[in-house]
Every structure is written in structure tokens, then in C-alpha cells.
Structure 1
Amino acid sequence: MFKRLPGDEARNLVSTTPDTAVVFRPAVLKTPAIITFLVYGWRFLSALARTTWRYPVAVAVPVVLGGICYGYGWPAAASTVGFVVLSLLACACTDGDLFARLVGFRLLAWWRLMSIYRRHCHGVMDVSGLAKRVNGRIYMPRLLRVTCDGWADRITVRMLGGQAVKDWADRIDNLAHGFGATSCRVALVKGGRLLLTFPRSDPLAAPMPALPIPDEPSVGPVEIGKQEDGRPLRLKVHGTHVLIAGATGSGKGSFLWDTIRGLLPAMRASLAQIWALDPKLMELSFGRELFEGHYAADPADCADLRDEAVSVMQKRAARFAGLQRSHVPTIEDPFVLVLVDEVAFLTAYQPDRQLRQRISAALATLATQGRSVGVGVMAALQDPRKEVMNIRNLFPDKIALRLDESEQVDMILGDGARDRGALADHISPVPGLGAGVAYMRLETSPEPIRVRAAYVSDTDIRAMVAYYGQAA
């Protein structure tokens, strides 16, 4: 029995064998051997040139040793290797930081590239959805460079055509767990290239004791703690405004007292003043002697003190008009920092409507006009919602400590901050572990950085009061 094939082209083809399929084979074009050799030769030369450009030291070492061995024999090459090894050991013993920068971190970067990132890249990218399949072909993002330092790995990645930063920011958890890291940060280097940061350790895990009081008077930046990469954290307070948000027990007081501690020499030299508003009567009242009478706790007194700050600001603006555009602290015109603990109690939860409007108007005036005349505002609050703090966008520098909800991170640090790795809602609530840990976004940099403020104890505050009183 014959079987007729369907289709227009095959309607006249009839198989003489029952149930036998007709096989159509494509035409095969044989490539001349010389062209094949040229193609593979060009690929080899291109790969050799790229390797030499990207890894000059790794290429130079075998070439130099081979030249020495060819010209002077293997004893000379072995002696050279021994001399280099002994020199590196001497450098490691005498200057460990220099050895780590020149050799240690480079070797670590190569090892982690080969053993972790390049090894698992295909599977992680495929499972997380960052690899794309088009017409049966898989397109993978390309790892361009891996660098290491004391706390993290940084990987430069070339995105696929058509991908956006948000595609990667939405998958930071997949990338972190896929490569065996605790977290991942995404930052845009330039068009088409991203920088992925994978921390290997946490320098901020342990609480920090209070930093020493500076010797020289200065209005900032004030050193208040440590950044995640181990560098000192210096907070700018002169010429800006700072908003601090965090849940109860997150460590807002650490940022307030570290700032006060750093400004003590300038206060002794009459180059700075701190005007404290403490409606909770708990945090700043412990060192009220430091503020030289510029302290208020009652809401009405807080409104009067803030109005006085507005008056000082306006008088300075009138005197500076046409003469200078920025403030330089002097004894006649010191830097004034208006410090407000739990500002929401004054601007949102205050039952007296007229008093609430008066305080909100004064705060908005200071936030919009005070920077250029040397009047700054540092405000702390627990609830960052717009109806609680409707002028939070007037604060150029923002700090987010432990927050209760993921949406609150973007409320404080700006849209997309959490997608770029500012996981303030994941900070540990255990006392001593997460207190003082925060993510900070500065006016000069849109990327959030993880920091920890030093802990200023009650004993430290008493010593500050006694020291300042004796010096005064």
C-alpha cells in the first residue's frame, strides 16, 4: 500500500515502501582549507592580542622567563624566579597593604573570576532570566573585569543589547545567591556597562566606640563612623541639610551625637553653634549644657527657637546680598546647625494646628534658604511618609537606618535606591547588631552607600559636657 505525502511540492512523490519517510538533505558547500586556516589564524591572533592587552603581567612573566631560559639557561631563570619570590615575601612582611594592592588582590580577583564567576556565570544568568534565547541561540552578558579589595568583589559586566539597569536591579537577590554572596549592588558605569558589587565580609558587623574629639576646630565634613569599604565616614553638615529616618532603636541618636561630638572644637572656638529641638525630652536633653541656651523641648519653645533661626538667616542674607554667595564661619557669623530630634512630632503629630503650621513654615524656610548663609538643618524622624514629612525633598543628603517597610527606602533615598542595593528594611533589629547601620545618599552621588555611625554612650556624653564646660 502506497503512502502519499502532503504538500504542493511533494504531491507527485510516492514512496514504494510503506510508512517510509522521504529525507530531504540540504546542499553542502565545502570550504577550501586555506580559508579555514585563515579564519582560525585570525581568531588566534585576535585572542592573543586581547589577552596581552587585558593581562599584560600574566603574559609578560612566561615570556620574560622563556627569554632568560633561552638566552642564559635554566639556572638563570630559576634564580630570577627565586629573587622575585623573595622580594614579594619581603614586601608582604614589611608593607602588607602595598603587597595586597600590587599582588594579593590581583591574584584573588583572578582566582575568584575563574573559580566562581566565570564558572557559574552561564547557569546564574540563564536561571535569573538575564540570558536571552533568540532563534535557538543563547546570548549571554559578558564579564569584562573583576577587581577585589579588602571587603568586596567588583565585576564590570556588559549588558545585552536592549537590556536596562532595572532588569538587573530587579534580580539582585538572584545574582547574590547565585554567586554565593550575601548581597549585590548594581551601579551604572556607562552606557551598556554595569558594576556589580558582591561583599565578601562585613566591616560594619561590630559596633564602633565613640571617635576621639577632633583637635582642630572645623565645621566639616565631620567624621562620625565608617563606610562599608573601611574608609572613614565623613558627613557634610555645613552648606547642606541632612534628613535621618529610622525605626525605634535603629540608632538615630548615634548620628546626632557623633555630629555634635565632631563640632565641639568649632563650638569652643565660637565658629559653630548647635540649636537643639528635643520634643521627646529624651535624646538631646542629656547634654543640654552643650547648646549654650539654644535648647527647647516644649513645642511652643521649639517654634520660638526655630523662628529665631529664621530671623538670623534673614539678617545674614540681607548683609551678604551682593557681597558673597557662600558662608565662611567666623566669630561674628558662626555656622548654625538646627538639630531636630523626632521632627514629625512638631510637623505632623502636633495637636495645635496653628503651632504646627508655624513650625512647618519655619522649617521649610530654613531648608530652602539657609544653606548659603550658614544655617543648616539636621532632622530625625521615624515615619518618612509624605503626609508626615512633606518637605523631605528639600534635604539634599539623606540617611536611612533600619526601616519597617521596603517602600520606605525609596521614600527617603529616592526612587530606585532599594533596587540598587539599599536594603534598609533588611538591617538587623537585634540590639547591638544593626543599631547605627544605615544607607546614605549624598547630594554629590546618587548611589547609596552603606555606613555605620559610632556609638556615643552616656558616659561619653557626660565627658563631652564636662570637657566642653571646662574648656569654655
Structure 2
Amino acid sequence: MFKRLPGDEARNLVSTTPDTAVVFRPAVVTTPAILTIVILVWRMLAGLVRMIWRHPIAALVPVTLGAVWYVYGWPAAASLSGTVVLALISWAFIDRPSFARLVGFRLLAWWRLVWVYRRHWQPVMVVSGLGRHLRGRDYLPRLGRVTCTSWADLVTVRMLKGQAVKDWSDRLDHLAQGFGAKSCRVALSRAGHLTLTFPRSDPLASPLSALPMPQEPTVGPVEIGKQEDGRPWRLKVHGTHVLVAGATGAGKGSIIWSVIRTLLPAARAGLVELWALDPKLMELSYGRDLFGERYAATPEECADLLDEAVSVMQKRAARFAGLQRSHTPTVDDPFVLVVVDEVAFLTAYQSDRQLRQRISAALATLTTQGRAVGVGVLAALQDPRKEVMNIRNLFPDKIALRLDESEQVDMVLGDGARDRGALADHISPVPELGAGVGYVRLEASPEPVRVRAAYVSDTDIRAMADTYASHGGAA
């Protein structure tokens, strides 16, 4: 191997092969100075045009002030500057949301682009292995636009040719630490382009109180909490099946009771029936009066209730055959939601083998055939392993609350979910910080979304039972 020689010493480098007299002399091309100047000037002009195109307002402000100064003098320019600043401050006090959306977040995005991302882009890319240093030249992914929201920075990136999304998802910790964020998530925006999300704050850090009940009966999507971007979290329950997985104390009850709470007006109107399976006798028994006769606690009762749900499903399928392919809730054919608190107790930990097979067969039948005829399943469990829940792939929509191991995240949300930022194993075990916080992977979108479910207290459940008792499970 030859040592790297400084300057033009490579010009005098001569080498031969061990067994031949062939001489290899590296070619040294001298670039004319005029060509170097033209290239530099072209790059400066291109950068100026790019800056004006990306930041027209920021470029217009100094040009306007300079023109006023040139034509009317510096007092006029100073007066104009003061007037603009006063107007912006007044706008911020009068209508802060619109000011933040139109001015504040754009200024913040420009500042973070210059001071955080562009400043540290090269070292972070090279050290993390996402960039390449070859023959004295850095080949780096191209930093694109930075957009700021109330809680995060969204950074668009153009990948190097030949890179894959997994190359970036394997280095999320490097990116987060390199740019001073607690975490990082990656999503493919279009071919060759990524969107990196760097949270600046956690809008889900505080618990959410129980949401107001809907004024009008609805079967969904039902609002049960808040997404990380501040929008309401609306969960689809009609026309799908939902699996909720989480460790003890992760907040599975918050999701179950929030769904039940929003469906109670529709249950009173006869458009929904709530069927409850509560093998632990702890969670759903607190509001048992809401389900009427559609409540089961012992394994035998749970098996009978599931068989009844299968019978309702099959009768509807026979009536709908050749007439309709989707279900619309009516008083004659209401939407039936089967809620199972701890499904693993029935499918894996049940000692009676015959009863276990019967329950598993009924759940598999409901999850494969029930959604088209208006029979849905909302199941919760603690252990998402395949040997514990062998039909988890039959649930189109999945929610991962706090989990004990990183491998469990992909078990619940699908392969690669944790690499894309679904860090369910990092959710805080402290109830005030992490209860009800989780990641959702919907059938229509493979990208996980961080959410938090509202907490329905015991007092709220008692009030619901007093107001809507016997309507949830009305036949």
C-alpha cells in the first residue's frame, strides 16, 4: 500500500509489478484557474437562488430595508423596522396560534436548519456511517427542508444512491444523539427521500381525563385520546378487529373503557351491542351493568358467549349473501363489539384443552369472517408471543402499549415497526407518564403513530353504569 503524499508529490510516484517491467505512473491533471473560479461563482449563484426560492420572505426583508434606506435614508428604514416588529408582537399577543403557524414556526425552522442540522450534518453523517469519505471527498445525503411543529422537527433528506431505509432505521440512536434529540423516527416520504422526526417536547407527558361523550350516536371511528401531533386519536372499531398488547399497568383498561364510553350513546339508540368477556374478573366487572346478559366471566361462560357471537355472525352472513358486502348498523342488525379483557387467559393459560380449542376456534372464526357483517373483536393481552396468541395476525389494527422487551414490539406491530420508531419498550413505567401511551399500526398505514388514551376513572365508570345500564348488551 502507498502512503498518501501531500501536494504534487504524487506526480513523481512510480511503481512496478513484482513480475513485470510494466511501469504505472498516476496521471495528474492540473485544473485551470479560470475553470475553478467559474465553478465557484456558479455554486455561489446557485446557492443564492436556492436560498431565495426556499426562504423568499427572509430574503425580501433585508432587500426591502436596504431599498428604503437607499431611497429615503436610515430614519425611514429604522421606522419601518420598528413598525414591523411592533405589528408582529401585537399579532403574537392577539392571535398566538395563527402567528405561530405563519411566522413563529417558520422562523424556528430556519434557525434550527442553520444552527442545528446544517451545522452538524457532515460530522453526524460521517460518524454514523450514513455518509462516505472516499479519496478525500465526502459523499453525504442531501439535507432538505426543515419544518417545525409545536412538538417536533420534520427534516427531509435525500438518500445516497444505493441506500435503503433500513440503513437509516438502524442508526436512529446515532441521529438522535447527534442532533440533540431524545429520539428519532424515520419514514419514507417518496422514492429516495426520507422524513426524519426529531421530537423537541412530549405533548403526551400529561394524563388525559375522560373525554366528553358524543352528542350523537356513532359507531366510529371513535375518539378515545390524542395523537402526538395534537390531533384527536380516533380508533376504528366498526369494520375491523383491534388487538391491544401491553404489560401490567400499561393502560389497556384506558383504551377499552374509552371505546365503550364513546359507543354507549349508540348502544342506547340500538345501533351497537357490547359483549364483554372478563376472565380476570377485575376490569370489565366494574361496569357489568352496562353489558346486561352479554357478560361472561368463567371460561365456560366465555366459550358460550363466543359461540353465540359466531352464530349471530353466520346468520347475518346467510342473510347478506348476494345482497350486500358491507355492514351498516341498524336497529335490526346492530354492530356487535366483542370485548375480551385478557384473551391469553382463554387461549393459552386455560387448563381445559377442549375448552381452549373451542374458544380459539370461535375467536379465529370471528376475526376472519366477522368484520364484513358487523361483528368486531377488541382483545387485550399482556404477552404477545405466538405460542400465547396464535391468531394475532388476524387483527388488522394493533396497538402496542408499554412492553417489556424490544422484540415484542415487532411481534405486535409487525416486522420493522421498532426500527421505524415504535419504541414501546421505552415507555415509562410510571403511571402518570406512561399509562395509556402507545403506538398504533393501522391496516391502511404501516407507519406507527404515537398516541395516548384518555383515562376513564372509577367515578366515570359508575356514572356511565348509572346512566346507560342494560343498554350496552341489549338484544
TM-score normalised over the length of structure 1: 0.91
**Counterpart of 2:342 in 1: which secondary structure?**
coil
After superposing the two structures, state which structure 1 stretch, 336-345 or 462-471, moved more.
462-471
Supply the distance in 2 between the matched residues of 1:471 and 1:387 (Cα, whole angstroms): 37
CA 242–8 in structure 1, closer or farther in 2 if over 3 Å, else same: closer
Aligned-pair CA distance for 1:50: 1.4
CA 318–144 in structure 1, closer or farther in 2 if over 3 Å, else same: same
After superposing the two structures, state which structure 1 stretch, 99-108 or 44-53, moved more.
44-53
Matched, 1:31 2:26: no
Supply the distance in 2 between the matched residues of 1:153 and 1:340 (Cα, whole angstroms): 39
Work out whether residues 126 and 133 of structure 2, in 8 Å CA contact, stay in contact via their aligned partners in 1: no
Aligned-pair CA distance for 1:274: 0.6
Supply the distance in 2 between the matched residues of 1:350 and 1:270 (Cα, whole angstroms): 34
Q: Letter of the 2:408 partner, please give it.
A: Q
Supply the distance in 1 between the matched residues of 2:30 and 2:266 (Cα, whole angstroms): 83
Task: Give the corresponding residue for 1:339.
Answer: 339
Work out whether residues 268 and 471 of structure 2, in 8 Å CA contact, stay in contact via their aligned partners in 1: yes
Aligned-pair CA distance for 1:264: 0.9
Task: Give the corresponding residue for 2:467.
Answer: 467
Task: Give the corresponding residue for 1:447.
Answer: 447
Work out whether residues 291 and 471 of structure 2, in 8 Å CA contact, stay in contact via their aligned partners in 1: no
What CA deviation, in whole Å up to 9, does each residue of 1:59-109 have, x standing for no partner? 222223333444444444444333332332222122111000101001111
Task: Give the corresponding residue for 2:318.
Answer: 318
Supply the distance in 2 between the matched residues of 1:348 and 1:177 (Cα, whole angstroms): 41
Aligned-pair CA distance for 1:319: 1.5
Q: Letter of the 1:344 partner, please give it.
A: A
Aligned-pair CA distance for 1:207: 1.4
CA 32–187 in structure 1, closer or farther in 2 if over 3 Å, else same: closer
Task: Give the corresponding residue for 2:7.
Answer: none
**Counterpart of 1:433 in 2: which secondary structure?**
helix
Work out whether residues 402 and 437 of structure 2, in 8 Å CA contact, stay in contact via their aligned partners in 1: yes
Larger Rg computed on CA atoms: 1
Task: Give the corresponding residue for 1:115.
Answer: 115
Supply the distance in 1 between the matched residues of 2:256 and 2:404 (Cα, whole angstroms): 21
Task: Give the corresponding residue for 2:355.
Answer: 355
Task: Give the corresponding residue for 2:273.
Answer: 273
Supply the distance in 2 between the matched residues of 1:39 and 1:89 (Cα, whole angstroms): 43
Task: Give the corresponding residue for 1:208.
Answer: 208
Supply the distance in 2 between the matched residues of 1:421 and 1:155 (Cα, whole angstroms): 15
- Correspondence 1:143-182 to 2 at 5 A: 143-182=143-182
Aligned-pair CA distance for 1:45: 2.5
**Counterpart of 2:138 in 1: which secondary structure?**
strand
- Correspondence 1:189-268 to 2 at 5 A: 189-268=189-268
Supply the distance in 2 between the matched residues of 1:409 and 1:36 (Cα, whole angstroms): 53
CA 32–159 in structure 1, closer or farther in 2 if over 3 Å, else same: closer
CA 286–45 in structure 1, closer or farther in 2 if over 3 Å, else same: same
Matched, 1:370 2:370: yes
**Counterpart of 1:357 in 2: which secondary structure?**
helix
Task: Give the corresponding residue for 1:12.
Answer: none
Supply the distance in 1 between the matched residues of 2:420 and 2:31 (Cα, whole angstroms): 52
Q: Letter of the 1:382 partner, please give it.
A: Q
Supply the distance in 2 between the matched residues of 1:447 and 1:462 (Cα, whole angstroms): 37
Task: Give the corresponding residue for 2:408.
Answer: 408
Aligned-pair CA distance for 1:44: 2.8
Supply the distance in 2 between the matched residues of 1:127 and 1:118 (Cα, whole angstroms): 15
After superposing the two structures, state which structure 1 stretch, 58-67 or 221-230, moved more.
58-67
**Counterpart of 1:244 in 2: which secondary structure?**
strand
Aligned-pair CA distance for 1:370: 0.9
Q: Letter of the 1:366 partner, please give it.
A: L
**Counterpart of 1:325 in 2: which secondary structure?**
coil
CA 65–464 in structure 1, closer or farther in 2 if over 3 Å, else same: same
Supply the distance in 2 between the matched residues of 1:193 and 1:27 (Cα, whole angstroms): 37
Supply the distance in 1 between the matched residues of 2:118 and 2:332 (Cα, whole angstroms): 62
Aligned-pair CA distance for 1:120: 1.7
Aligned-pair CA distance for 1:277: 0.5
Supply the distance in 1 between the matched residues of 2:277 and 2:331 (Cα, whole angstroms): 23
Supply the distance in 1 between the matched residues of 2:16 and 2:466 (Cα, whole angstroms): 101
After superposing the two structures, state which structure 1 stretch, 336-345 or 353-362, moved more.
353-362
After superposing the two structures, state which structure 1 stretch, 146-155 or 47-56, moved more.
47-56
- Correspondence 1:122-141 to 2 at 5 A: 122-141=122-141
Work out whether residues 292 and 470 of structure 2, in 8 Å CA contact, stay in contact via their aligned partners in 1: no
CA 357–52 in structure 1, closer or farther in 2 if over 3 Å, else same: same
Work out whether residues 248 and 382 of structure 2, in 8 Å CA contact, stay in contact via their aligned partners in 1: yes
Matched, 1:291 2:291: yes
What CA deviation, in whole Å up to 9, does each residue of 1:151-182 have, x standing for no partner? 01111111122211111111111111121111
CA 48–281 in structure 1, closer or farther in 2 if over 3 Å, else same: same
Work out whether residues 290 and 470 of structure 2, in 8 Å CA contact, stay in contact via their aligned partners in 1: no
Supply the distance in 1 between the matched residues of 2:455 and 2:326 (Cα, whole angstroms): 33
Supply the distance in 2 between the matched residues of 1:409 and 1:100 (Cα, whole angstroms): 36
Matched, 1:426 2:440: no
Aligned-pair CA distance for 1:249: 1.2
Supply the distance in 2 between the matched residues of 1:355 and 1:458 (Cα, whole angstroms): 33
**Counterpart of 2:333 in 1: which secondary structure?**
coil
Supply the distance in 2 between the matched residues of 1:292 and 1:64 (Cα, whole angstroms): 72
Supply the distance in 2 between the matched residues of 1:410 and 1:71 (Cα, whole angstroms): 65
- Contiguous gaps of at least 5 residues in structure 1: 10-23
Task: Give the corresponding residue for 2:21.
Answer: none
CA 28–181 in structure 1, closer or farther in 2 if over 3 Å, else same: closer
Percent identity over the alignment?
72
TM-score normalised over the length of structure 2: 0.91
**Counterpart of 1:460 in 2: which secondary structure?**
helix
Supply the distance in 2 between the matched residues of 1:371 and 1:452 (Cα, whole angstroms): 25
Supply the distance in 1 between the matched residues of 2:280 and 2:165 (Cα, whole angstroms): 42
- The CA RMSD over aligned residues, in Å, is 2.2
CA 88–6 in structure 1, closer or farther in 2 if over 3 Å, else same: closer
**Counterpart of 1:428 in 2: which secondary structure?**
coil
Aligned-pair CA distance for 1:29: 4.2
Task: Give the corresponding residue for 1:307.
Answer: 307
Work out whether residues 405 and 425 of structure 2, in 8 Å CA contact, stay in contact via their aligned partners in 1: yes
Supply the distance in 2 between the matched residues of 1:171 and 1:418 (Cα, whole angstroms): 12
Q: Letter of the 2:331 partner, please give it.
A: I
Task: Give the corresponding residue for 1:16.
Answer: none
Supply the distance in 1 between the matched residues of 2:336 and 2:150 (Cα, whole angstroms): 38
What CA deviation, in whole Å up to 9, does each residue of 1:197-252 have, x standing for no partner? 11111111111111111111101111111111221111111111000001111111
